[in-house]
Amino acid sequence: MMNKTIRIAAATMFALALGSAFAQAAPISGEVKKIDENAGKITLKHGPAKSLGMDEPMTMVYRVKDPGLLKQVKVGDKVQFEAEGGDAGYTVTKIQKAR
């Protein structure tokens, strides 16, 4: 009985972890407000970002994982992006112009 309970608990924890990993990859709609190539940062105005725990629209400065991402967009572009949170703040991992 104890082994069955442990297996069920482990499977539940795995499913929850897997679900949150997919949630982090949900694209966020936004608009580029500023690009700072020297600092490797981008300012984005965006709607709620549930995958990052942000329930309200906001304008925020993000680091970029790869400085090359900043060359794909310009100020005023409507974009779809993905980001991850960490101890040092939020980092854009993917960005592309919205279609």
Count Cβ neighbours within 10 Å for each residue of 52-80 and write b for 16 or more, e otherwise.
Answer: bebeeeeebebbbbeeebbeebeeeeebe
Q: Which two tokens stand for residue 40?
A: 């490797």
DSSP run (H or E) holding 46:
strand 41-46
Q: Which domain holds residue 83?
A: 2-97
pTM equals: 0.74
Three-class SS state of 4: helix
Number of domains in the chain: 1
Output the pLDDT for position 88. 83
The predicted-structure confidence for 3-37, as pLDDT tens digits, reads as follows 666 666 555 665 555 454 444 568 999 999 999 99
CATH number, domain of 18, equals 2.40.50.320
